[in-house]
Amino acid sequence: MAISTINTVTFISDTVIQLRDTLSSNITDPISSSRSAGEKFVMTGYPQRLVKYPIVTVQNTNIDSQKLGMQSELLMVRIPIEIRVWARNQKEKDFLTQEVMNHLRGIEFDSDGTVKASLIDFGITSAVNVDEDGQNTPKSRVITVEYKYILGT
């Protein structure tokens, strides 16, 4: 799935939705055959209802910016995105985390990738385990990736 150009007016939601859609189209759902039609594997935000694990959530976090010159109307906006992989076990969590990282890293300079969509300077800033205690509890890893976007063009 191609990443579309990010719109200056809706750059926050566009970024989250584009990343959700590309992950949904390119990351393998280990239980796709048993997931019902109403259930999603990749979604924006944390689920509000019961889900079948594994899932991947995508949401933006603290956005900031800086001017690109003394009298410039352009801003360099830093857009951190939290991608959380929720899995049934450690092996599945590691596999899905690696798939997410490899996919995002791999599409940066594609002909229809993130740079073409005006999301530049991709980086993975952290990948933190957040596992619940106990047997049969979901295992998760919070991956923070970052893009920069020039606002005002």
CATH number of the domain that residue 43 is part of = 3.30.70.1700
- Total structural domains in the chain? 1
pTM for this prediction: 0.91
Q: What is the pLDDT of residue 29?
A: 95
Nearest CA to 60 out of 119, 4, 111 is that of 119
Domain membership of residue 70 as a residue range? 11-151
Q: Report the C-alpha gap between 105 and 122 in whole angstroms.
A: 8
Domain annotation covers residue 58: yes
Pinpoint the alpha helices (H) of the chain. 11-26, 90-106
Residue 103's pLDDT is what?
Answer: 96
Q: Is residue 3, in this structure, part of any structural domain at all?
A: no
Q: Residue 99 domain-assigned? A: yes
SS3 28: coil
Question: Is 1 part of a structural domain of the chain?
Answer: no
pLDDT tens for the chain, residues 1 to 153: 677 888 889 999 999 999 999 999 999 999 999 998 888 999 998 888 888 999 999 999 999 999 998 888 899 999 999 999 999 999 999 999 999 999 999 999 988 889 999 999 999 999 999 977 777 788 899 999 999 999 985
**pLDDT at position 3:** 78
pLDDT at 153: 56
For 109, residues 6+ apart whose C-beta sits below 8 A from its C-beta are: 115
* Alpha-carbon 28 to chain mean position: 15
In a domain, 5, yes or no: no
> How high is the pLDDT of residue 6?
86
* CA pair distance 81, 84, nearest whole angstrom: 10
d(CA 16, CA 84): 13
Give pLDDT, residue 1: 61
